[in-house]
Amino acid sequence: MTSDELQPAIPAAKHPLLDAAIYWLLARRSIWKFFDRVWLQSHGPLPDPRGGPLILYLNHASWWDGYLMYVIHRVVLRGRFDAHLLMEEKQLRAYRFFSWSGAFSVNRNDPEDARRSQAYAAALLRGGTRPRALFIFPQGRIVPNDRRPLVTFPGIARIIAQAGAVNLCPVALRYELLGRQYPQAYIRIGPQHRAATPDDPDATLREITWRLTAACDALRDDVLEQRLERFRPLLRGRRGIDEQFDAVLRLLPTPRSPAQHARGDAAPGAAHPPARQ
């Protein structure tokens, strides 16, 4: 598919069985163990492979973002795209098994390596027997979720300029405890769009930065205001001690207040003795 000169330092080595093992044994298992729920908010139709290749660009606020990427690919998009991930070379060398899931490296400190990785990504999107999806964290590193302005690197815009017709989709991620033992994870995906001027990387980068910032801000507002009617539960994790304790309390009879004792009232839900004839 690609010539040697387009190869990044660590190319993708995707393997369907090993990819599935990483998802179920690492990502899904960890999310079940450490999260209360994962919530999804979708804007516009979800990306469809019949529309062609796709780039999903996500904010990067947590170590957990990579695992939620698996959830988006397998649960939200139902594995219908051949997914790949652009990953910092230093991290991919430390966790090289992620190449089995389609990850490939980029070294932003080496312009020639970055050029090869961008050309490799564009070739991936143009090729394949079925449409491909490329996940990119354009911030390039983990940054506090509400730091503004949101700063992005130009590599994503250069990939778009080389990839030809490609759909784009912003994805905002957020994590909050909100009174629970385990945190909640929130995903906001969409709306899908095309670059207004794909041959102008500077304009494309400004558009992507604006769209991603708007998505992150909107997700923040909905989460902090607890507008849960705008989300649907995507995955359920383990119940915390707080939820387990509340469930036990609901099974116990409700104690009567002193006023009820004085009046001889029965506790709510208790059966009243039959009236005398």
* SS3 label, residue 142: coil
Percent of the chain at pLDDT > 70 equals: 86
| Cα distances (Å, whole numbers) of residue 57 to 133, 136, 181, 261, 277 | 10, 5, 30, 62, 76
- Mean pLDDT for 234-249 is 73
Backbone angles phi, psi at 129, to 5 degrees: -85, -15
Q: What rounded mean pLDDT belongs to the chain?
A: 90
Distance CA 60, CA 65 (A): 7
Q: What is 4-236's CATH topology?
A: Glycerol-3-phosphate (1)-acyltransferase (3.40.1130)
Give the DSSP letter of residue 4: G
What is the pLDDT, as a whole number, of residue 5?
Answer: 63
246-273 confidence digits (pLDDT tens):
666 677 787 666 665 566 555 444 444 4
Distance CA 104, CA 87 (A): 6
- Residue 40 has, within 13 A of its CA and on its CB side, a CA count of 19
Backbone angles phi, psi at 136, to 5 degrees: -135, 135
Our measurement of the distance from residue 11's CA atom to the centroid of its chain's CA atoms, rounded to an integer in Å, reads: 23
245 pLDDT more than 70: no
**What is the value of pTM for the model shown?**
0.87
Residue with tokens 């729920």: 37
Residues 6 or more apart whose Cβ sits within 8 Å of residue 262 = none
Torsion sign (Cα): 91, 96, 102, 106: positive
The burial class, CB within 10 Å (0-12 / 13-18 / 19+), for 4 is exposed
- Mean pLDDT for 227-234 is 97
| From 125-129, 201-205, 243-247, the region with the lowest mean pLDDT | 243-247
What is the pLDDT, as a whole number, of residue 220?
Answer: 98
Confidence of residue 238 (pLDDT cuts 50, 70, 90): confident
106 pLDDT more than 60: yes
| Other beta carbons less than 10 A from residue 157's beta carbon | 23
Whether 145 contacts 105, CB under 8 Å: no
What is the pLDDT, as a whole number, of residue 253?
Answer: 80
Task: Give me the residue spans of the domains in the chain.
Answer: 4-236
Amino acid letter, residue 7: Q
| Other beta carbons less than 10 A from residue 162's beta carbon | 16
Angle at 106 between CA 165 and CA 28, to 5 degrees: 85
What is the pLDDT, as a whole number, of residue 225?
Answer: 96
